[in-house]
A and B are shown apart, each in its own frame.
Chain A
Amino acid sequence: MKDGEIISNVRLQGDYFVVKFYAPAISRSARAGQFVHVRIDRGLDRILRRPFSIHDTAPDGTVTVVYKVVGHGTRTLSTLPAGATCDLLGPLGVGFRDVPEEVVPVLVGGGYGAAATYLLTKQLPQRGVFLLGARSAGDVLLTDAYRAANYDVRVATNDGSMGRRGLVTDLLDGVFDEYAGRKLFFYGCGPHPMLMALARILRKRGAAGELSIDHLMCCGVGACFACVVKVKSDTPEGWSYARACTDGPVFDLDDVYVE
């Protein structure tokens, strides 16, 4: 097998796909929250790489990515058959940190952000809570995988078609109540407005955690300064720009600048 070879690339549901690459070096060292930067086709029409959170790795040298078809790159990727190869860089970026065994990990996902926290179920020996927010039942992903890892899984959908009607952040009160007296650590990944809402609530509660802030990326290695996000800083504005690709994508909750 060649490095970057696609082992399988199948529809998960709706516009969501799961692709498995053979990439032993990346598979060996990847940690939850890190990403691969994929050159999907070698033509000069669309030249930029696309970043994807690493969903899973396996001892057979594979790296799994869950993606939604949203534009040119992901549409092209969804057409590639097993046996095709992509050029992968990775694992890139700062991943999620481990917490001591007595701490309960609470993973908070929005949409396919759910994929980025899955490796934590393998990385951490303790079980935890997985909260997922999605638009509709058709956007609820990976709950079976988290259940199989013995996580306490709770779902909210905007239209109420699965789980509680509302936002993923509406599930937080219940967790704080039921796990009162336990030390919690939050891991968040999802759309920007969701992460900002999550940050506000966690701050108010004095909770600790990390957020994976996904952003429009270009080089992926820290050189171009395209993917910057605002982090707290002692500048007159109170913030400065940090690179999502190398300073993140995972940032400590305390460093995230909430507007």
Chain B
Amino acid sequence: MADLTTDLGKLVLKNPVMTASGTFGYGVEYNQYYEISRLGAVVVKGIRMEPSPGNPTPRVAEVTGGMLNAIGLQGPGVEKFLHDDHYMPFLKKSGATVIVNIWGKTQAEYGEVAARLDAESEGIAALEINISCPNVKAGGVAFGTDLKLAAEVVSLVRRSTKLPLITKLSPNVSHIGDFARAVVDAGSDMVSLINTITGMAIDIETRRPRLANRTGGFSGPAVKPIAVRMVYEVAQAVRVPVIGMGGIMNGDDAIEFLLAGASAVAVGTANFVDPYAPLGVIDGINAYLDRHGCASVKEIVGGLRID
């Protein structure tokens, strides 16, 4: 068994496997299947100041090799998240390393929610700034596809909290490396990528979009080559830790991301296919490291060979 300890600057994880925000609820939903403290970290669904109803239904559509979603960041709001048993109080008891994904409809709201979580940060290991959700009209990807706005949001959040900051990047841009540099310069301690890729599916019998939101975020095994390429580009562009995700179904998929330069990975859509998927990814990483005689997972981060 190799050492899986993962070092993300100020944030140290017992293993490199996290959950992708929005695919793991608030942790409690999966704790009935296994102890979620076994994961490197649990990244909860996006939190803003106010409760959010989310988008109309249908919100998901299955497509070849994956799915589209347009949930629209339904959520309880920060106060309920901090104090209702189902959310933070449960997570504290679970012993999991908790990363809170945050968003806002305005720049100011990003700062407010970061400050609010900073004030009651017991049990919170880091914040992940969501500037990449493609399914909300205000906030989300509007900030993640404009270099200036992305830097402003991150800079405001940086001034609002001392917690380690991860910025989750959108793949819906031409040069993702530029966005990585901009958010790191603005004070982000690390970056995570990719969020979903904007897509669309049409019911040809009714001639209507299959999602009420018309478009949605494409995820699942089919997006993995795009995600690996973008992680590789970002790892070249910045010197901070990179968290890679996009279509990871098993340990071998995760290894690709680590070789491309990610220090940790997140499992997303695979949770919907198999609740135990993240544990399978941890086992698969271990098996690979043993097979390659590696004493630590750190040995393979960025280990891509290019002649």
Contact = CB atoms under 8 A, between A and B. Distances in A.
Are these two chains actual partners, yes or no? Answer: yes
A48 B54 contact: no
Nearest to B270: A47
B60 A246 contact: no
A36 to B, nearest CB: 14
Given A216-B60, A221-B30, A241-B54, A48 B249 contact: no
Contact of B74 (A89, A218, A229, A241): A241
A184 B71 CA distance: 38
Given A39-B274, A46-B62, A225 B29 contact: no
A218 B274 contact: no
A49 interface: yes
B272 A224 contact: yes
A48 B272 contact: yes
B23 interface: yes
Interface in B44-86: 45, 53-54, 57-60, 62, 64-67, 69, 71, 74
Interface in A230-258: 235, 237, 240-241, 246
Nearest to A46: B62
A97 interface: no
B275 A221 contact: yes
Interface residues of A, number: 29
Contact of A223 (B60, B64, B271): B271
B53 A49 contact: no
A47 B74 contact: no
Interface of A is mostly: loop
A215 interface: yes
B302 interface: no
Interface string B205-243: 000000000000000110000000000000000000000
B272 A219 contact: yes
B25 A226 contact: no
Given A89-B275, A223-B29, A226-B69, A218 B60 contact: yes
Contacts of A48: 62, 67, 272-273
A218 B54 contact: no
Nearest to B74: A225
B184 to A, nearest CB: 30
A47 B69 contact: no
A32 interface: no
Which of A44, A46, A227, A229 counts the most B-chain CB atoms under 10 A from its CB?
A44
Contacts of B272: 47-49, 218-220, 223-224
B167 to A, nearest CB: 23
Contacts of B32: 221
A240 B53 contact: yes
Given A39-B274, A216-B60, A219-B272, A44 B249 contact: yes
A226 B45 CA distance: 13
Contact of A218 (B29, B45, B67, B275): B67
B249 A216 contact: no
A89 B58 CA distance: 23
B71 A224 contact: yes
A224 B71 CA distance: 8
A216 B61 CA distance: 9
A220 B212 CA distance: 20
Contacts of A72: 62
B130 interface: no
B62 A226 contact: no
Interface in A49-85: 49, 72
11 contacts: A44-B221, A47-B269, A49-B272, A223-B30, A224-B60, A224-B69, A226-B69, A226-B71, A228-B54, A229-B57, A237-B53
Question: Can you list the 9 inter-chain pairs with the closest CB atoms, starting with the nearest?
Answer: A223-B25, A226-B60, A223-B29, A222-B29, A219-B272, A44-B221, A225-B74, A226-B59, A218-B60
